[in-house]
A = this chain, B = another copy of it.
Amino acid sequence: MSSTSSHVGPVVGVVGAGQLARMMQQAAIPLGIELRVLANTQDESAAKVIVDTRLGDYRDLAVLRDFAAGCDAVTFDHEHVPTEHIGALTDEGVQVHPGADALVHAQDKAEMRRRLTAFGAPCPAWRAVETVADVEAFAAENGWPVVLKAIRGGYDGRGVWVCDDRSEAAEVVATGIPLLAEAFVPFQRELAVLVARSPHGQGVSYPVVETVQENGICVEVLAPAPGLDPEDAAQAQRIALKIADELGVTGLLAVEMFETADGLVVNELAMRPHNSGHWTIEGARTSQFEQHLRAVLDLPLGSPSLTAPYVVMVNLLGGDDPAIFKRYEHVMAHDPGVKMHFYGKEVRPGRKIGHVTVLGTDLDDARARAKHAAVYLTTGEYT
């Protein structure tokens, strides 16, 4: 292993070369950790900033085995690597984090619900369904609307259908996609809890945040979640740490929750750095990317404490005009404190191409500043 070498740091292999791997590189550089990335093409976000970029198909075990050789740990930019390959690598002695037994719960929503229900994490009513009759039976018990979710492969609102009646459900069932039915949760707002857990079992939770979604895509994150009852915040953190522990997660776990009149309900899990944690780059003493690297290398975890009373992150979704850079000048001149993040990705309408972060003492002011920067950068409109 390279960590026994005298003058280089450990090598961490990251499967997938999107913006998460790119932002890991920002954290890896100061720690002297050498990142290696498995990309599809040399043009991908992380491939542009990581010297040791290898090209190959993450669905091919031979490719993964070759990629892992010489790595002190292997982790992921996305959750699509087949768990049987992860299990095979682990059996061969590779440190893969998260492991197959944990990651399956981020890949398979039915498996996730089964497990969470088993140890008492708060879930909506749910049932795997195959036919329209199954959905109708579920609705008879839990009422319409019924939320149908693709058991595998959904993200950013894709693979989720809120069905008001039988005919809408029938259309979804007709796709042939394996489905999970969930009771519609009348939530007040959406929260997210990001925790880290290391192989030796240390756990750390970041402050609970509020996430604002539009069309199923996260557009804004407020840290900490404004006005959240401290008891509820502690309960949310306990739930997330419990899930990480029960599932044996190593690395980061993001738990998306609904806040309802009756308490908290777990919505989704992600086992990697998460959009709801991008604010930590400037807003926490340890960014989620550094935390993930510490965890997968089984190093002690860093402080998750806030660096300002409020931190606001707004996603940049590509607009019609791809010329982002020419708009830096206004934003930088207008607000010397706004932090801009671009992922080096080609601008396409609706695509996540970056984010902005603003720290402040007044929440409304910080939100307005972040919004102004994001709108101007993506559209050129002065709000």
Contacts and interface: CB of A to CB of B under 8 A. Distances in A.
Interface string A290-310: 000010000111110101100
A277 interface: no
Contact of A26 (B29, B322, B345): B29
Interface of A: 3, 6-10, 22-23, 25-26, 29-32, 34, 47-51, 53, 281-282, 285-286, 294, 299-303, 305, 307-308, 322-326, 328-329, 332-333, 336-337, 339-347, 354, 359
Contacts of A29: 22-23, 25-26, 49
State the main secondary structure of chain A at its contact with B: loop
Contact of A51 (B48, B299, B308, B342): B48
B49 A9 contact: no
B336 A303 contact: yes
Given A30-B281, A281-B30, A300-B332, A322 B7 contact: yes
Given A48-B51, A324-B32, A341-B30, A329 B25 contact: no
A337 B285 contact: yes
Nearest to A336: B303
A32 B300 contact: no
A287 to B, nearest CB: 10
Contacts of A301: 332, 336
